[in-house]
Amino acid sequence: MDNAIFEYSSGVIEAALEKSSKVLVDGVSFSIAPGESLSVIGETGSGKTMTALSIMGLLPPNVSELGETVRLGGRVLCEAGRRGLLGLEIVYIPQNGHEFLNPSRRVRHHLYDSLKRAGVPKCGRAALALEKLRGAGFETPEDVIDKYPFQLSGGMAQRVTIAISACSRAKLIIADEPTNGLDSASTSAFMERLDSLFPGAAKLIITHDISVAALCSRTLVLCGGRMMERGASEAVLGRAQHPYTRALTASLVKNGMHETPILRPEAAGCPFRRRCPEGGECSGRNEYHSGKTEWWCGLKP
């Protein structure tokens, strides 16, 4: 992508076990343009969270990465460089807002700290803090700014974290399951809020919710730490090419109950091969392109 503000290539992310090692993510790559949103979907264990942690330079001590490349705004960032930009140019929005907030500090001080780090002079922080809360969905921010985190509901805490994030100079937003537990109206409002508060930032949305992925510009599908399908959301979710993507979209509650294939030890080639209902003629893992979609599969299209 020529106009990308963010580019990522995972290389190999591997966990050291007691007597062996396990590859968690292998060959995941994508780019995001300014103002664009990319959803990353897949079942539990597909590599979504590890990919996000890699981008932020926050992999667990027993996990290493080799050959990764991270570019933000044209700059190549090392692991320490990524950590140094957290909260400033790289902003993380967690699933649970309360986990993000210091319970001993008022909302006001959380906002002031972020504004200070962004270079806002002390005299301008009070008014701007209220403005950010208002932009995050609080009609009367004066009623919220002096509260402690324990005085906030889950939804309020999440909106406060968004307001704090909006105090930054964010170029990349990473949101991890940000709409979990929200109804469809609240989910749409959250996504609209991200676009209005961060119009020029790249947005990476980690989710298991197909309806959330549909609200994003593009979608990346992961399985077993590898890319299955990638492209425009309407194409990937509406006209899926890979059997795994089709299985994910068929798992929506509105589609009724279906038999779940038994999970067997990982096979060579496609991570979905052992569970694939069409995998009889699977021949490894090949790359295919069609219109706005690309996918990696051992089956001929």
Both 210 and 274 in one domain: the answer is: yes
Both 139 and 274 in one domain: the answer is: no
Domain endpoint, select from 135, 168, 201 = 168
Low-confidence ranges of the chain (pLDDT < 70): 1, 252-268, 279-283, 301
pLDDT for 278 equals 74
Contact by Cβ (8 Å): 114, 89: no
Secondary structure class of 146 (helix, strand, coil): coil
pLDDT for 252 equals 66
Structure tokens at 244: 């795994």
User: How far is Cα 285 from Cα 46, in angstroms, rounded to an integer?
Assistant: 17
Both 121 and 261 in one domain: the answer is: no
Domain that holds residue 110: 97-168
- Please indicate, yes or no, if residue 236 is contained in any of the structural domains: yes
CATH at 60: 3.40.50.300
Contact by Cβ (8 Å): 97, 105: no
Place of tokens 């409002």: 189
Half-sphere exposure of 204 (CA within 13 A, CB side): 28
Domain endpoint, select from 122, 148, 168 = 168
Both 208 and 268 in one domain: the answer is: yes
Both 270 and 221 in one domain: the answer is: yes
Both 125 and 64 in one domain: the answer is: no
- Please indicate, yes or no, if residue 1 is contained in any of the structural domains: no
Residues 6 or more apart whose Cβ sits within 8 Å of residue 82:
55, 56, 57, 70, 90
User: How far is Cα 224 from Cα 25, in angstroms, rounded to an integer?
Assistant: 7
CA distances from 202 to 38, 39, 94, 162, 272 (A): 8, 11, 16, 15, 30
Both 174 and 28 in one domain: the answer is: yes
Sheet containing 293-297, strands listed edge to edge, beginning at the edge strand earlier in sequence: 90-93, 172-176, 202-206, 37-41, 218-223, 226-232, 293-297, 286-290
- Please indicate, yes or no, if residue 198 is contained in any of the structural domains: yes
The number of domains in the chain is 2
Q: How many CB atoms lie within 10 A of CB 23?
A: 15
User: How far is Cα 179 from Cα 182, in angstroms, rounded to an integer?
Assistant: 5
Both 57 and 78 in one domain: the answer is: yes
Both 26 and 130 in one domain: the answer is: no
Both 25 and 123 in one domain: the answer is: no
DSSP for residue 169: -
Dihedral, CA of residue 270, residue 220, residue 175 and residue 94, to nearest 10: -20
Please, what is the Cα angle at 149 between 146 and 154, to 5 degrees? 120
pLDDT for 228 equals 94
Domain endpoint, select from 152, 168, 184 = 168
pLDDT for 263 equals 47
